[in-house]
A and B are shown apart, each in its own frame.
Chain A
């Protein structure tokens, strides 16, 4: 299909209503049946309701066209990955050629290093997430509940960390790990990703909302602060914990520049870095390249589908208040 890619397809002049005789609410957010976009009739009296309806139709047409266009690369990658090398050679831009084959996937999963990369990515992302959640929540608890002498400066120092993009620190971070001989280990990938300032703020915000009576009661019963944190506050903070867990895991899984620097051994590479070496292998068939792209994308697409609501809410929360 040939979707129009024009993004300025807003009905500027067409959508304006001619008369204002009809003063009813013109069916906002009208629940209309999706129709073929070209079926927008340009006839009939253009009252407000008509304008509203026309606008909705054009909007739906534009939206569906763009959504389909957005799906093209994903579908295209998958379609290529299940074609045989000969068929791709004869007609590279065909979408479909008779007999789908999963050869490319078999080759990758049996002959390649892909299984290693999956495991490495999983271990490093899980370790990063665990350490981040623990350290960030402890620090956030102290900032939220304790009064101590240097609370303000500590807080400001932390706030300053929001401004530092880790990418500009790649050289000194690399040198630090090199000097300890940690290159090509899981720790090299994990440790620099642990200090996550955003995670501290997410936890602190959540802890601030937990009624003080609860922690007070625990303290009155003689629980230490540490125990109060572990047995009272953390169990109540599951929403914050899961939000931080999902986001940190996804960040860690997708991190590219850092693992690229500290891991050179193909068997220690994470998935995103490993995929670049696939592309360097000379003369590799397109079907295998696309199959590795699909395999590289599947884990996170699965995570996204499972936690769609939470991920979207987490991001949406960024923009509100």
Chain B
């Protein structure tokens, strides 16, 4: 899921898998037994502790978002404020910063998802060919994933620093006379943050692909080799198609995690230069907490939530269909 850990996108581990495949999968058996009727209060009692937190911190806040969006609630005055109907929605849709922030989230998502999926796949395919030394590659690519976002941000602010940073000196070494200000140039800032994010969170996808590759039986490889397929042909026509499910999974997790990007942008550029990197969540943060426009920020949160929800639902539908087919 974060991402991305990393979210990060620390992709933060997202929905593990559609739960409740009761009866399927060979292991999960129907819970409960005929004839074991718990007394009336056992089940509610056991569900209560979790249920309390769940309702107070998840369901309740979600309902609040739905309601507050129709009021001009403010952080300063307290209470819900006045009913304004759909004004917040109308205002959001006609505000340039709102669209810009959505676009920044989407742009970041594009910049990170493609390399995070493709490069992770390439790394896993290459690593899978070697039985020795695997621990070293796993360590190198996965270790950054466990680091907190602020550690990543500190490191990369130093790497991307103007004049004295490593990135500019490398760029000069490779022949660029005046390398861009990586975090100070509006055109480059998001790309630099995306690069740091790829470095940070690729380990998650790498590990998933590596596990999926282990599932492919050896004789598939051997049969193809006997038919004279070269290594490159085998990867292209046999292995990659067999990784379809893993690819769907990492792509969806990555999309959802990237849309929720906040941490590293908040720290590395604060949404600057000149709001060029402000993502949706940072816009919510700024309007809600800095400007105190709670009602308006609730509306924006809800729009973002619906976007993420749609992606998750599409994924569920895909998984469902795939399960039916098999």
Given contacts A70-B141, A139-B51, contact A272 B148 (CB under 8 A): yes
Chain B residue at minimal CB-CB distance from A251? B12
A164 CB to nearest B CB, Å: 6
Chain A: residues with Cβ within 8 Å of the partner, total of 134
Chain A residue at minimal CB-CB distance from B228? A20
Asked if B194 CB lies within 8 Å of chain A CBs, one says no
Q: Is the CB of B284 within 8 A of A171?
A: yes
**How far does the alpha carbon of A51 sit from the alpha carbon of B232 in the complex, in Å?**
9
* Stretch of A107-115, A234-242, A296-304 that contacts chain B: A296-304
A206 CB to nearest B CB, Å: 10
A118-138 contact mask (Cβ, 8 Å, vs B): 1 or 0? 000000000000010011101
Give the residues in chain A near B233, CB-CB below 8 Å: 16
Q: Is the CB of B123 within 8 A of A63?
A: yes
**How far does the alpha carbon of A191 sit from the alpha carbon of B49 in the complex, in Å?**
12
Q: Is the CB of B19 within 8 A of A229?
A: no
Chain A residue at minimal CB-CB distance from B51? A139
Given contacts A139-B50, A292-B154, contact A167 B289 (CB under 8 A): no
Given contacts A15-B231, A146-B32, A169-B65, contact A256 B148 (CB under 8 A): yes
Q: Is the CB of B46 within 8 A of A146?
A: yes
Interface centre among A2, A59, A318 (most CB of B within 10 A): A318
Q: Is the CB of A247 within 8 A of B13?
A: yes
**How far does the alpha carbon of A203 sit from the alpha carbon of B76 in the complex, in Å?**
42
Q: Is the CB of A165 within 8 A of B305?
A: yes
Q: How many A-B residue pairs have CB under 8 A?
A: 367
B46-79 contact mask (Cβ, 8 Å, vs A): 1 or 0? 1101110110111111101100100000000000
Give the residues in chain B near A172, CB-CB below 8 Å: 60-62, 64-65, 68, 298
Give the residues in chain B near A191, CB-CB below 8 Å: 53, 57
Asked if A34 CB lies within 8 Å of chain B CBs, one says yes
A50-66 contact mask (Cβ, 8 Å, vs B): 1 or 0? 01100110011011001
- Of the residues A194, A212, A278, contact of B33 by C-beta under 8 Å: A212
Q: Which residues of B contact A (CB under 8 A)?
A: 10, 12-13, 15-20, 22, 25, 27-29, 31-33, 36-38, 42-44, 46-47, 49-51, 53-54, 56-62, 64-65, 68, 115, 118-119, 122-123, 126-133, 136-144, 146-151, 153-159, 163-166, 169, 173-174, 199, 204, 207-212, 215, 218, 221-222, 225-226, 228, 230-233, 245-246, 249-250, 256, 260, 262-263, 266-267, 281, 284-285, 288-289, 294, 297-298, 301-302, 304-305, 308-309, 312-313
7 closest cross-chain pairs (CB), A and B: A316-B211, A172-B61, A92-B164, A147-B32, A319-B208, A148-B43, A139-B50
